[in-house]
Structures are given as structure tokens and as C-alpha cells.
Structure 1
Amino acid sequence: IFYKIALEINQDDLDIYYKLQEILDKKHQLSQEILELRRKIELNPNIKSYYNLAMALTRQQKWDEAVVAYRQAIEINPDLPWWFYYNVWEVFAREDKLSEILAFFQKFQKSNPDSCWSYLNIGEALTRLNKIEEAIPYYQSTCYQRTQKSYPELVSQPWNLEEVQGPNFIIIGVHKGGTTSLYSYLIQHPQIVPPIKKEMDFWSWKFNESINWYLAHFPAISKGKNFLTGEASPSYFDYPNAARRIFQFFPKIKLIILLRNPVDRTISQYYQWLRLNWENRSFEEAIQLDLERLTKAPEKVNYWMKELNYLARGVYVEFFKEWMSLFPREQFLILKSEDFYAYPEVTMGKVLKFLDLPEYQLSEYKNYNMGNYSPIDSSIRRSLNDYFQIHNQRLEKYLGMKFNWN
């Protein structure tokens, strides 16, 4: 609408014309995608097709239709970790359907009492309805069932919730730096008992949920048992007050962070947000706006501002200043993502040593959560390299480490 009005005012402006045409082309492509997905569902109705249809409908802001498609996907198999798909919950919340989907999961749980995912899905629905105290027992039940299956020796005695100590370690970042792969490798170690979620985002976005809500996600490990537990939420590293919040409750915790070339991290984040329907600008538009904001008056930049979505998150040195003003350096293990990708078994050895755990080799080091996208324009990459160069040098000086990203 904005571009149509602008074109009426400036009928000879080719830039506005081309931009309007680009938007109309995208809308047409999306409509064709929806038609194709509906045809696939007619031939073979399955979870993936319904889920993809709902995602496409949300991109067209057809929220009521998206709710129906998500609901159909869930009804095909309710016994899945639907709590993980936050876009599902956002659409249900937007259309005021959370109570309805909660009732559906509660009915399923009653007829399937051994389904740990149903407990977790109910907990998620209650949390999003701000019924925190009601949600906590469902998270605890999920944790009990999962631990009982994988570590029966920990639940051979009565489950004492007072023995829930919380995490021994946290992977704090960075976003799109390899945290999913690292966490997946770690929880395969026989002495690491995972919580019920990899990313809890408690110390960033969900701090209002109460510390008991957070602890309900972790197993009860008796003192003297040689097990560790921990989580991985990359939102923590660059979130205001996350470091102080963690320090207040767990001042001795071990902190692990993967640092990726900020140019590659920026590109990867953009394309992930595009897939999640959180971004509708072109890569060039999004990066150019960030560059303008950051370079206009660099001495006044607040790197913690979430409006600076992409580039600011790669100025790692600014965030380390906050974290290292609270935690001593020996509580950090700082890793280079590129080394981790190339030699995962070597990096894992460093992590296990840091956590005082015995070595443990995996049969396979699979890459998780990888994104695929076309190479970006070389001139844009040069602009990104130029911007990050001075900040990378500051980081190397501050940490006394070489990353050799430029």
C-alpha cells in the first residue's frame, strides 16, 4: 500500500516502481507456493505439508487459515515436541486459540499418560497463558519421565525436587555460531544429563517466569552423583542484564561460548530470520540500514539495542566487557566456531576438559541446524569485512586471542 501511494505521488520514480513490482512478484510466488502445498495435501496429507502450508499462510498474514493448518498438523501426531515451534504458538496466541490447543493436549495426555511430550506441550501452553505455577508440575513430570528412560539410576530412589540444583554450565552464544551442534554432542556424554530443553531463554526473554519455572526444566541430581547438567541459549550473550541475572543466582557457573566470523554469522542470521518469517526486507536493505545506524554516530551506539538486529551482535568485544566485569576469566571457555566446524572432536576434547569430564569420542559429529543460501554479493561482503575489522582487532586485544577472520 505504501509503495502504491508513493507511486501515485511520484509517478516517474523508477525506484518506487521497481520496488512495488518486486513486492507484487513475491506475493504472486507465495500464492503459487500455497496452491502447490494444498495440492500436495490433497494427495498425501502429512505433518510436514500442513506445517509448511501454515508457514506460507503466516507470510501472507492469513492468520485464521494458518491456525487451521497448524491444528491439522498437530492432530496428525500430538506426541511430538510442538513446544519447540514457537511460530506455532505465536499464531495461536495471536488468534486467541491457546486455551483451545491446551484443552486438546490435556485430552491427549489423559489417554496417553506415558507421553512425555504431551506434558511438555501442556506446560508450554500454560506458560504462554501466564499460568506459571500450573505449568511447573508439567515440566517436572516431563523431566522425570525423560530422565527415567535414559538414566534410571538417578530415579531409582524417590525424585527429590529439593535436589534440583540447576545448571553446572551454560552455552551462552553466539547465535548461529554452532551452539546446537555443540550441545547435541555434549548431551551424548554418559555423565551429562540434559534438561528438557536446549534453549530456555530464561535469563533473557523469560526472566519473568520465576526461578522455579526455570529449575523445573532440570533433573534432580543427588549430591555425590558424578553427573552434570546444563543448557544452551545463545540469546544470553548479547541480551541486556542476562549476565547479571545469571551471576546473581549462579556466580560459580562455567560459561562456554562459540565465536563465529561476524560476517558469516550476520549472513546466516538474516537467512534464518527470513525462513522464520521475521524478515521481509532484502539482505541488502537490512544490512545497509544497520550500517547506517552504526556508522552515523559510532560513539553513541548502544550495541545492546535489539533494533540493531544483525551487525551489532557481531561486535563481540562490547558484550564481553559486561560478562567479564562479573565472572572471572577462568569460568569462560571461548572457542572459535570455524575450528569447531573443521575439527569437532578436538573442540569437544577442550570442552570436556573444561567441565572436568573424561574424554568421550562420538562415532559421528553431525552438523545440526545448518542453513543453505546463495553466496552474497562480493561488494556487500567487503563492506561487512570493513565494518568488523576494527572490532575484531579490539576483540583479539581484549581477550588475548587470535581469530584471523579478516
Structure 2
Amino acid sequence: MEMVGVSVSKTIRKFRRKSWCKLISSGFLLIILCFLSVKSQLLYRETWSPTRYSSSSFYLRLPELGHNNRNLQNIVLYGGVRHGKPGVPSDKLYVFENTRNPTLVTDQGKVNRKTDSLYLKNMEIGRNRRLPQAIIIGVKKGGTRALLEFLRVHPDVLATGPEPHFFDKHYHRGLEWYRSLMPETLPNQLTIEKTPSYFVTKEVPARIWKMSNSTKLLLVVRDPVTRAISDYTQIRSKHGKIKSFESSAFLHNDTSQINVSWIVLRIGLYIKHLENWLSVFPLEQIHFVHGENLVTNPGEEMSKVQKFLNLKPVITEKHFFINKSRGFPCIKKKISNKRGHCLDESKGRKHPDLPANVMASLRRFYRPFNERFYQVTNINFNWT
């Protein structure tokens, strides 16, 4: 009888141990199943689909906020990122302004409704390629490159790289091609380009007016005699041996007969070209930059330019220093910087010395045109 009791007791203890093992095993199995269920949802729900966060999908839908974006307020106003929503097809997502007011858009940026001011407003908040609001139209060898490089220091100004030559050489390509050359800017930033040949091309004023009749124009002018010599010097440096200045400037080497067909001299007839521009644009829409003063007193000229362009007066005389070897101004991006940016060695190159009678003849030729130019612009540039 005692043996039977002992056997029953052992059986009960063994059953209890197996029950606890089964209970613990069942618990672990349940935990594993729950984990797999959650993981499955994370992997297969569209909101967390890897393709939604790939470089070809998610990042292309975000505004491009690169290192050139100096206005952090626009990042905050944008409301962070564009949020996905469960159940929305993978080619669509919602845009939020300050995390409110969703607007459904597609990958191609098209709104599913014909008009949606909220979406358009959000797109304006981001960086876009905009047609220029200001153009440096000339003149060649007047100081246009210096003006553009000085303006680049301003945080609210972005410019193209090479000269676009859209309105004189590539107009047939259309405005969208022209826009594609522009830098990406924020709404509070100014887009500007420089093409000096615009000033002497007859068709350009009407073409710019057609693009935007509010475009602001900047014209850098300098003494037409020294401008012509500088132009000739550049041509000679690029093409090597060419005819002498006198042979090109005068007919039959007679200093009393000016060769007005030579483009180097014709560019300096500022009043003739300006009359063409004034037949389209009002005078107050053109700002005249004194080329000589831009070299000797760049701070003063840049103050006038910033005022004309409605820019904050960020650039001052403290940003400039003179390159002693060439006598040309260099500019510092920050006043505290020890070093600055100087134009390349082609600027400030030495001009050939011309005979006194050649210089006197050129000055006599330009004098009546200069005086008329002073009257129209109401600026005395004091070119002797």
C-alpha cells in the first residue's frame, strides 16, 4: 500500500513539472507570434514600405534644402516633411502646411484638383528656379564681372555661372531652357544674370520686356576710350598677333577718320544703344554704375546698387581691400575674414601705351556722345 502511494506521488510531481514547462513554452510561443505579427505589419504596410523612402521616391518629394539655403525660417514654415498616410497609393502623399491642411499631390507634382492655392503656396515656400528679376546688361569691359562677384557676397542674391546669352544668341530655345540655367532660390532671394552683349543687341530690350516688364537692369559704364583699349587688350591676349589698335580704329591710318564699324569703338557710343533701351524701358528701371568709381570706391557704388535692387545694405566699404599688385579691389565674404576673393588675373591687366594724337582723336570723337549721355542719364561721369 505504501508503495502505491509513493508511485502516485511521483507521478503527480512529474505531471506538475511538465505542466509548468508547457505553460512557459506556450508563453514564449505567444510572445514570438506577437512579435512576428507586429514585424509583419511594419514590413508590409505601405506607410513603411522601403520604396517610399528610396532616393527615387521620398527624397525627391522634399524641398531641396541644400547648403545654399540661408533662410532657416523657410524650413520651419514648411512644416518639416511631407507625411505619408496608410491606405494612400505609393505614388501619392499628403503635403502639410505647419502640419495642417493636407493637400493630395502626385509624384509629378500635379494636384488632383484643378486649383489648389495651398499647394501652390507651399511650392513657393520651397526652393525653385526662377527667371531673373535683375539683369546686368553691359557694358563689355566696363566692370560687369566685378559687379556680379561683389553682389554674390550678399546673402539674398544668387546668380548664374557662365553668361547665358539667352536674349541675343539662344532666344529660340525658350524661357524654360533659360529658367533651367538659373540657380535655385527662395522667394525672398534675388536671381540675377550677366550678359554684357545685351546692351548692344537691338532685339534684346523688347525680349526682356516680354519676359517681365518689371525686370531691373544694371548698366556698368566707363570712359569709352579706356574701355575700347581694354577690349582690344583682351582680344589680343586671346588671339595673339592681330592688327594694331591704330590700324583698326582709323581708316587709312588717318586719325581724323574714325572707323565706327569696328565693334570695339561702336560699343562706346552709349547714348545710341541707350536710346534703343529707352524705347522699351523707362529710365528709372535702369541703374547706371560708374565703372571707375566701382574700382576706386566700391563700397559707395555697391550701396547705390543695393538700394536700387531693394536689398538690405549688407555690403559696405569694410568688405573691400585693394590688390596692390594690380590695383583692383577684392572683396571679403565676411568683414572678419582675413582673406578675400579677388578677380582672376585677366582683370587689371596692363594696357598698351597709345600715342598722344591717337588718344586725343578718340576723345574728340566720343565727346559729343558722352555729353548727350550725361544729359539723358542726369549723371556727369567726368570723362575728359
What TM-score range do you get, normalising by the shorter chain?
Answer: 0.5 to 0.7
Matches within 5 A, 1:157-306: 163-195=128-160, 197-222=161-186, 225-277=187-239, 280-289=242-251
Q: Which has the higher strand share?
A: 2
Counterpart amino acid of residue 246 in structure 1: I
Matched, 1:388 2:366: yes
- Distance in 2 separating the partners of 1:162 and 1:335: 30
Counterpart amino acid of residue 363 in structure 1: H
- Distance in 2 separating the partners of 1:323 and 1:251: 12
- The alignment partner of 2:66 has SS state of helix
Q: RMSD of the alignment, in Å?
A: 3.2
Counterpart amino acid of residue 179 in structure 2: L
The Cα of 1:293 is off from its aligned counterpart by 12
- The alignment partner of 2:226 has SS state of helix
Aligned length: 252
The Cα of 1:163 is off from its aligned counterpart by 4.3
Asked which structure has the greater CA Rg, the reply is 2
Partner of 2:286: 332
Cα distance change of structure 1 residues 334 and 325 upon mapping to structure 2, 3 Å threshold: same
Q: Deviations over 1:342-362 (max 9, x none)?
A: 100000000001111111135
Partner of 1:363: 319
Q: Work out whether residues 290 and 311 of structure 1, in 8 Å CA contact, stay in contact via their aligned partners in 2.
A: no
Matched, 1:376 2:354: yes
Q: Deviations over 1:20-44 (max 9, x none)?
A: xxxxxxxxxxxxxxxxxxxxxxxxx
Cα distance change of structure 1 residues 291 and 182 upon mapping to structure 2, 3 Å threshold: farther
Counterpart amino acid of residue 286 in structure 1: S
Gapped runs of 5+ residues in structure 1? 1-140, 302-306
The share of aligned pairs that are identical, in percent, is 28
Cα distance change of structure 1 residues 370 and 241 upon mapping to structure 2, 3 Å threshold: same
Q: Work out whether residues 247 and 326 of structure 1, in 8 Å CA contact, stay in contact via their aligned partners in 2.
A: yes
Q: Work out whether residues 218 and 287 of structure 2, in 8 Å CA contact, stay in contact via their aligned partners in 1.
A: yes
- Distance in 1 separating the partners of 2:249 and 2:131: 39
Select the residue among 146, 149, 152 that pairs with 2:67.
149
The Cα of 1:206 is off from its aligned counterpart by 2.3
Matches within 5 A, 1:333-348: 333-348=287-302
Q: Work out whether residues 303 and 313 of structure 2, in 8 Å CA contact, stay in contact via their aligned partners in 1.
A: yes
Partner of 1:311: 265
- The alignment partner of 2:357 has SS state of helix
The Cα of 1:371 is off from its aligned counterpart by 2.4
- The alignment partner of 1:236 has SS state of helix
The Cα of 1:209 is off from its aligned counterpart by 2.8
Q: Work out whether residues 170 and 255 of structure 1, in 8 Å CA contact, stay in contact via their aligned partners in 2.
A: yes
- The alignment partner of 2:157 has SS state of coil
Matches within 5 A, 1:1-150: 148-150=66-68
- Distance in 2 separating the partners of 1:290 and 1:314: 21
Cα distance change of structure 1 residues 334 and 317 upon mapping to structure 2, 3 Å threshold: same
- Distance in 1 separating the partners of 2:175 and 2:127: 13
Cα distance change of structure 1 residues 290 and 204 upon mapping to structure 2, 3 Å threshold: farther
Q: Work out whether residues 290 and 308 of structure 1, in 8 Å CA contact, stay in contact via their aligned partners in 2.
A: no
Relative to the length of structure 2, the TM-score reads: 0.59
- Distance in 2 separating the partners of 1:165 and 1:294: 50
The Cα of 1:162 is off from its aligned counterpart by 9.8
Partner of 1:354: 308
Partner of 1:112: none
The Cα of 1:205 is off from its aligned counterpart by 2.1
- Distance in 2 separating the partners of 1:342 and 1:162: 37
Higher deviation after alignment, 325-334 or 392-401: 392-401
Q: Which has the higher helix share?
A: 1
Q: Work out whether residues 233 and 351 of structure 2, in 8 Å CA contact, stay in contact via their aligned partners in 1.
A: yes
- The alignment partner of 1:256 has SS state of strand
- Distance in 2 separating the partners of 1:294 and 1:320: 26
Q: Deviations over 1:107-139 (max 9, x none)?
A: xxxxxxxxxxxxxxxxxxxxxxxxxxxxxxxxx
Q: Work out whether residues 129 and 182 of structure 2, in 8 Å CA contact, stay in contact via their aligned partners in 1.
A: yes
- The alignment partner of 1:171 has SS state of strand
Relative to the length of structure 1, the TM-score reads: 0.56
Q: Deviations over 1:125-166 (max 9, x none)?
A: xxxxxxxxxxxxxxxx9xx99x83322658967996994331
Higher deviation after alignment, 147-156 or 236-245: 147-156
Counterpart amino acid of residue 262 in structure 1: P
The Cα of 1:244 is off from its aligned counterpart by 1.2
- Distance in 1 separating the partners of 2:188 and 2:309: 12
Partner of 1:62: none
Partner of 2:383: 405
- Distance in 2 separating the partners of 1:263 and 1:317: 15
Q: Work out whether residues 138 and 196 of structure 2, in 8 Å CA contact, stay in contact via their aligned partners in 1.
A: yes
Cα distance change of structure 1 residues 201 and 279 upon mapping to structure 2, 3 Å threshold: farther
Cα distance change of structure 1 residues 198 and 352 upon mapping to structure 2, 3 Å threshold: farther
- The alignment partner of 2:247 has SS state of helix
